[in-house]
Amino acid sequence: MRTSRSVVIGVDSSTQSTKAVAVDTATGGLLAVGRAPHTVTGTGGARESDPEEWWTALATAVRAAVRDAGIPATAVTGIAVAGQQHGLVALGADGRALRPALLWNDTRSAPEAAALAAGLGGPKSWLERTGSVPVASMTAAKWQWLREHEPAHAAATTGVRLPHDYLTERLTGHAVTDPGDASGTCWYGHGGGAGRDSYDPEILDLLGLDPALLPAVAPSGATRVGTLTAAAAEALGLPRTVVVAAGTGDNMAAAVGLGLGGAGLLDHPVVSLGTSGTVFAATRTRPADPGLAGFAATDGTYLPLGCTLNCTLAVDRFAALLGLDREDAAPGADAGVVVLPYLDGERTPDLPHAAGLVTGLRHTTDPRAILGAAYEGAAFTVLHALDGLLAACGLDLTDSAVRDRPLRLIGGGARGRTWTDTVRRLSGRPLVVPAAEELVALGAAALAGGAVTGEDPVALAHAWGTGAGELLPPLARSTETWDRIAGVLTAASPGLLR
């Protein structure tokens, strides 16, 4: 065992769990993965978690990764956290959360989001300033909800953090974020109308939010922002000398892990199939589209993103209701069945109060066909968002060079045969399925590596080969299925599809 080996830790603090990867800094070799679960509570539109549980899970996962890697704690030189975006953590005077965090998929703030979007000159002004129009998932809407529904908590708040900010502060004692995660708040003006990268004072005034409550914004997620505090070092079982990077949001970290950005691939579309479905691409120009989130990447480029609320979890719920295994589905087996699996409302299209819809059932309908239609409905929603993203980036969808460019398919769904086949059939595109399963955590590890070595994290991830994987050829595109689902959605909510 060589104690001179340099190992970095990348942390993915997601909605359901924390994963921590131990990675050899020189080679990118994945040495071990530690895991610990989270608890999500709430009924109806509420979705909340206790931030203290995130911290406990982080410590548990990091200790497990170091133990299973078989390395001494002194080999660890850096750590970075990638966290679920948008969540609101309201800190009290003691630096701990005043209440459970409002998560990205908490839709109670939909009325506040609509009111905010109508203010400040309307959606166009929001796009120019922040790249995004407020929807229920955005942090600005959640802060406004807290002000209106729990004014005592809002008044007692001494700090406002995103999930990854909260964890980075627990590691270093410093309140800091990065441009990528900050761009998901709807109060950060990355490349906005005034050309500035900063918190927007007029938006903060509209929200009644004192800028002193917000963390400083580091230049990038790979910026070194400190080392471990004594308490953090003890909790994680690591030396205090471990360098902590600023970290970023989960989607930004996944882009780093895939090698997307200024030092890597640009305009290469990504589809992520997880609890939510996301589509994104690294670009040099931020599109102004109200249906997209105009996020910043962590390296100075842009990461426009479309997000759906209902993806793998919603399909698994249909499987449970039907008494089937998720791979028992028969997509396309019954051309009369259409499922819109909007069990948690929906973000893209913007239907926060929607419920799931099933149509076309008959006495002879096979339950496997219903489950297959749930896959199709979820995949359609994600792929329609992708078409909108590519068009907004100025790419011609009729151009074969654009149409034939492989999709990079990531997330838990990318490991399922039915998911991959359904995406191939509805998109007509080839797929690249990276061999690495923890791209968010690996992207965070590359950010940590950048903070330790000074290297560009995207270039480092590219050298590690974390985005490499199997190429699946395209299947013939099922335009009949696509048009059938589009027709049902249009009839249910006229004017939503462009």
Q: CB of 268 within 8 A of CB of 244?
A: no
Position 151 in a domain: yes
Report the sign of the C-alpha dihedral through residues 190, 191, 196, 200, in that order.
negative
Euclidean distance between CA atoms 390 and 282, whole angstroms: 11
Instruction: Tell me: is residue 86 an annotated ligand-binding position.
Output: yes
Report the sign of the C-alpha dihedral through residues 393, 396, 398, 403, in that order.
negative
Per DSSP (E only), the strands in 320-452 are: 338-340, 357-359, 407-410, 431-434
Q: How many domains does the chain have?
A: 1
SS3 of residue 3 by DSSP:
coil
pTM reported for the whole predicted model: 0.86
Structure tokens at 106: 């908490």
Instruction: Tell me: is residue 16 an annotated ligand-binding position.
Output: no
Q: Which helix (H) or strand (E) holds 32?
A: strand 30-37
Position 447 in a domain: no
- CATH number (domain holding residue 70): 3.30.420.40
Position 352 in a domain: no
- CA distances in angstroms from 368 to 104, 252, 319, listed in the order given: 31, 36, 9
Q: CB of 225 within 8 A of CB of 176?
A: yes
Nearest to 349 by CA among 397, 387, 406: 387
Euclidean distance between CA atoms 407 and 386, whole angstroms: 10
Cβ neighbour number for residue 404 with a 10 Å cutoff: 11
Euclidean distance between CA atoms 311 and 314, whole angstroms: 5
Position 67 in a domain: yes
SS3 of residue 482 by DSSP:
helix
Residues 189-231 have pLDDT tens digits of 875 443 457 999 999 999 999 999 999 999 999 999 999 999 9
**DSSP line for 320-345:** HHHT--GGG--TTS-TT-EEE--BTB
Q: Is 13 exposed, middle or buried (0-12, 13-18, 19+ CB in 10 A)?
A: buried
Position 232 in a domain: yes
Position 217 in a domain: yes
- pLDDT tens string, the chain, 498 residues long: the values are 445 789 999 999 999 999 999 999 999 999 999 999 999 999 989 999 999 999 999 999 999 999 999 999 999 999 999 999 999 999 999 999 999 999 998 999 999 999 999 999 999 999 999 999 999 999 999 999 999 999 999 999 999 999 999 999 999 999 999 999 999 999 998 754 434 579 999 999 999 999 999 999 999 999 999 999 999 999 999 999 999 999 999 999 999 999 887 766 667 889 999 888 999 988 888 888 888 888 999 887 899 988 898 999 999 999 999 999 999 999 988 889 999 999 988 878 878 889 999 999 999 999 999 999 999 999 999 999 999 888 888 877 788 877 788 899 998 899 999 999 999 999 999 999 999 889 999 999 999 999 999 999 999 999 999 988 989 999 999 999 999 999 999 998 875 565
State the greatest distance between any 2 C-alpha atoms of the chain, in Å, as a whole number. Answer: 68
pLDDT > 90 in the chain, percent: 77
Position 258 in a domain: yes
Residue 122 is part of which domain span? 7-263
Q: Which residues are catalytic?
A: 250
SS3 of residue 217 by DSSP:
strand
DSSP code at position 188: B
Euclidean distance between CA atoms 128 and 107, whole angstroms: 25
- CA distances in angstroms from 66 to 61, 62, 75, 176, listed in the order given: 9, 6, 9, 26
Position 241 in a domain: yes
How do beta strands 176-177 and 89-91 pair? Answer: unpaired
